[in-house]
Amino acid sequence: MIEGLSRSAARNIFFGGSAFFFLVFAGLTAHSHYYIVNVSTNQEGLTPSVIAGKHVWEKHSCINCHSLHGEGAYFAPEIGNVWTRYGGEENPDGARASLKGWIRAQPLGVPGRRQMPYFDLSEEELDNLIDFFRWADAMDTQGWPPNKAG
Amino acid sequence: MKYATQRVALPFFALALALFALQVTFGILAATVYVLPEFLVDYVPFHIMRMSHTNLLIVWLLIGFMGCTYYLLPEEAESEIHSPMIAYVQLAIFAVAGAGALVSYQFGIHEGREFLEQPLWSKILITVSFLMFLYNSSRTLLVGRKTAINSVLMLGLWLAAIFWLFAFYNPGNLGLDKLYWWWIVHIWVEGVWELIMASLLAYLLIKLTGVDREIIEKWLYVIIGLALFSGLLGTGHHYYWIGAPAYWQPIGSIFSTLEVAPFFAMVMFAFYMFWKGRRNHPNKSAMLWTLGSAAVAFFGAGVWGFMHTLSFVNYYTHGTQVTAAHGHLAFYGAYVMMVLAVITYAMPQLRGRQPYNQILNMWSFWVMTSAMCFMTFTLTFAGVVQTHLQRVMGINYMEVQQQLELFYYMRLGAGVFVAIAAVMFLVAIFGPAREELPEGMALTAR
Ligand code: HEM
Ligand code: HEM
Ligand SMILES: [Fe+2]
């Protein structure tokens, strides 16, 4: 295939084709942006508390042990559906209390078990975090994960 | 070495390799925690080790790319580097940004998105340093000869800088955050960095095989065309489950499957030129790293990437040890090995002697590559078992992890061999130079 092609033709195809595919990609990203804001996530529910929760998540870099919607590290359980896993749908207050209790109880110190560190979080920060988990869990992720185990 | 300012590359290579050694060290620490969970918990928690490991990787590869650029640019452009002073200052700024971030991590000071943990001041310094680098190298290119190799290299570097700017955008909506986060992470490794890799490969092949520039440069454009035509829309393989529309499932599956093509083209290109080449270059170890890089990139990125890229497969494997397996072999083959190939090629000239310590260098190649492959295999097995137990059977995460212990021991073992090989590489490159040539090569070298 390559013999019939001159170097300058190859270069022109590269520039033309890349520009074309970039524009298509940028257009689809713009549409996806619109879709995320208007369809798949709850933009009204994106309260200051949810955003504050995202900052708590980032401040302690939870992503470097856990995954969130399957992205991040693989050392600790998935968080994107933790709200569902703790029964948040049926019993929101119970799930909130158990999640807070779990985070506060760290490190468990069970010998031979992976440990989550102790993080010095205020009551408000814990609530923000849980609000963030709950908001993230409600995103339309095309049916992922396959089951509650995450 | 034809141009005096090519020397600028030397401190870049030295710093890059020092940080490589640190990267591997943090990898071993993190792998140790996987098998001995109490290891260092009160001093360096796992998340700090992991961000140190991945950030060091990115930082040393970028420093390596800059060194490669400063080394080949004068030869390609037939002109001295615009300002060696800017190069040294820019390296110092980058070193402060990288080392500063690394130290601050150990005190729990970091941001919180994967790979982008650098504190804001560090991100700004990285940007400043990189812009100085781009200014310096572009000025050199502008006054000099423009070849496909140096033009594509500079294009790749400029685009890498432009996409990096998304690191400063962190929307509160998690879906949007993820949408644009991949504009850096995916577009870098499966887009613009491929331009850098392909141009370095083309440069090494011209030097090592003596094949005509016309032919090599034509291949180069074909390869990078394949890379961007597939890689841009291929970003869709990360948009399946993050709140983006369902159309990414077919688009991402098809285009990311096509991403195998540039890697296949590179391995064909490398071996074809190798057989076609008339020149019997004495630097056999550089040739080995060059061919090895193309081959391992094809397996790590192409084969291991394809393995989990179709949406209906990724639905089950997403975010398991399969991903970790692929990430390791792809980064290693495409970028680590390519930078090590250029360093192996350039160092004899930089030190002003015939190729030296080649046997040791080749040992390092084989040990490191085998160990990285072994690590990839063992993580792949872990990932397949994990996928089945957790994603198909629905068994809880922590329970499943207990079933994987054996694989994690084997990963740690492989890591120790990678570290040994890295030390061998450092000794071969910086140690006392002995002109040991492979059997039968001694005559052609002189
Ligand atoms: C040199 C090129 C490549 C490098 C360095 C690379 C590296 C990586 C890394 C580090 C990740 C994990 C990102 C994270 O932390 O979430 C990843 C994910 C992924 N890569 Fe690649 N990759 C390359 C090429 C490819 C190619 C060519 C394909 C497809 C044919 C591919 C398919 C994938 C897929 C599907 C994922 C997502 C895995 C998941 O769902 O968890 N990669 N890659
Ligand atoms: C001594 C050798 C190494 C060991 C023991 C090691 C170990 C590890 C560990 C334990 C993790 C964290 C995985 C998790 O989150 O569960 C990791 C992540 C990672 N390492 Fe390594 N590593 C080594 C060498 C390397 C090398 C040479 C590279 C580059 C070629 C590399 C690139 C990465 C990347 C890109 C990630 C993030 C993966 C992802 O997000 O999917 N590592 N490594
Ligand atoms: Fe990707």
In a domain, A2, yes or no: no
A6 or A103, higher pLDDT = A103
Q: Are residues A33 and A103 in the same domain?
A: no
Task: Determine what percent of chain A is predicted with pLDDT higher than 70.
Answer: 99
Residue A119 lies in a domain: yes
* A14 within domain boundaries: yes
Largest CA distance in chain A: 70
Domain count, chain A: 2
Distance from C-alpha of B313 to C-alpha of B94, rounded to nearest angstrom = 40
How many CA atoms lie less than 13 Å away from A75 in the CB half-sphere?
Answer: 26
pLDDT in tens, A48-62: 999 999 999 999 999
Contact A58 B37 (CB under 8 A): no
For residues A36 and A101, state if they share a domain.
Answer: no
Complex ipTM: 0.97
CB B313 within 8 A of CB B307: yes
Q: Which residues pair with A67 in a beta bridge?
A: A72, A78
Q: Is residue A124 part of a domain?
A: yes
Whether residues A15 and A83 share a domain: the answer is: no
Cα B360 to Cα B379: distance, rounded to the nearest angstrom: 28
CATH of the domain at A146: 1.10.760.10
> Per the domain annotation, does A22 fall within a domain?
yes
Q: Where are the alpha helices (DSSP H) in A62-122?
A: 82-85, 92-104
Shared-domain flag, residues A65 and A93: yes
> Which tokens sit at B145?
């000869």
Instruction: Say yes or no: A33 and A78 in one domain.
Output: no
**B51 contacts B81 by C-beta, under 8 angstroms:** no
A23 and A93 inside one domain: no
Residue A140 lies in a domain: yes
Task: Residue A76: name the closest of A54, A98, A61, A56 by CA.
Answer: A61
Name the helix (H) or strand (E) containing B44.
Answer: none
- Nearest chain B residue to A15, by CA: B225
Contact check, Cβ <8 Å, A2/B222: yes
User: Which among B57, B32, B60 is positioned nearest to B114, based on CA atoms?
Assistant: B57
Q: What is the separation of C-alpha B214 from the centre of its chain, rounded to a whole number of angstroms?
A: 27
Classify residue A25: in a domain, yes or no: yes
Identity of the residue in A32, A59, A73 whose CB atom sits nearest the CB atom of B179: A32
Contact A46 B172 (CB under 8 A): yes
Cα B258 to ligand 1 centroid, rounded to whole Å: 14
Is A33 in the same domain as A96? Answer: no
Query: Same domain for A90 and A129?
Result: yes
Closest ligand to the CA of B20: 2
Range of the domain at A52: 46-150
Q: How many CA atoms lie within 13 A of A107 on its CB side?
A: 14
Examine the domain organization and report whether A97 and A150 are in the same domain. yes
**Token pair recorded at residue B335:** 């970028």
Would you give per-residue pLDDT tens digits along chain B (446 residues)?
889 999 999 999 999 999 999 999 999 999 999 999 999 988 999 999 999 999 999 999 999 999 999 999 999 999 999 999 999 999 999 999 999 999 999 999 999 999 999 999 999 999 999 999 999 999 999 999 999 999 999 999 999 999 999 999 999 999 999 999 999 999 999 999 999 999 999 999 999 999 999 999 999 999 999 999 999 999 999 999 999 999 999 999 999 999 999 999 999 999 999 999 877 899 999 999 999 999 999 999 999 999 999 999 999 999 999 999 999 999 999 999 999 999 999 999 999 989 999 999 999 999 999 999 999 999 999 999 999 999 999 999 999 999 999 999 999 999 999 999 999 999 999 999 887 555 544 444 43
Q: Is A92 in the same domain as A118? A: yes
My answer on whether A54 and A20 are in the same domain is no
Nearest CA in chain B to A115: B37
CA of B51 to the centre of ligand 3 (A): 19
Q: Are residues A63 and A113 in the same domain?
A: yes
Distance CA(B215)–CA(B211), nearest Å, equals 7
Closest-CA distance, A82 to chain B, in angstroms, reads 12
Residue A1 lies in a domain: no
| pTM of this structure | 0.96
